Amino acid sequence: MLGYLGNPRETINTWYPALRKPAYNPPDWIFAPAWTALYATMGYSSHLVARVAMETLSEPKFLVARAALGIYTAQLGVNLLWTPLFFGKRNPRAALLNIGVLGGLVTGMTWMFSQVDELAGLLCVPYLAWVGFASYLNYSIVKLNPGDGVDKTQ
């Protein structure tokens, strides 16, 4: 099926017919339709097997777990940005926006984790509670420090 080496015409017209064949050698015309059918069934059977593999990768629990781990990574990045915003930039307003986004991500993560593994979901609850409390604290600091909210002297 791959490109022939040598002289294909001479091979087919002279060399192959001259080879001695056993009595049960089928007529030449049978090989092309036989292989067409065999390649077709081969391809279809591999499709059936690939579909089973795809079904595994489409299981709801797997999809939720994979998405939840994506949100986990995202919330961790947002979480780690709070300190540079609040203390680094001395910008409690930006930090409040950050922690608001964080609260949304952690809420979604907690729910998705609980769908995949009950304990994993429960273990997120203290974190969610703390982010809620920290959001309120951040909000209070913004309100109590209208001038110092963003430090202009830096």
Smallest separation (angstroms) from a copy of itself to the CB of 7: 8
Can you say how many angstroms the Cα of residue 150 is from the centroid of all Cα atoms in its chain?
A: 39
> Which residue type is seen at 129?
A
Smallest separation (angstroms) from a copy of itself to the CB of 74: 12
CB-wise, 29 or 57, nearer to a copy of itself? 57
Cα-Cα-Cα-Cα torsion 98, 116, 65, 131, nearest 10 degrees, comes to: 10
CB-wise, 37 or 97, nearer to a copy of itself? 37
Using the structure block, give the residue that is written with the tokens 């991500």. 105
Judged by CB under 8 A, the chain residues 78 through 97 that form the site for a copy of itself are 79-81, 83-84, 87-90, 92
Judged by CB under 8 A, the chain residues 16 through 45 that form the site for a copy of itself are 16, 18-22, 24-25, 34, 37-38, 41-42, 44-45
Q: State the Cα–Cα distance between residues 98 and 92, nearest whole angstrom.
A: 10
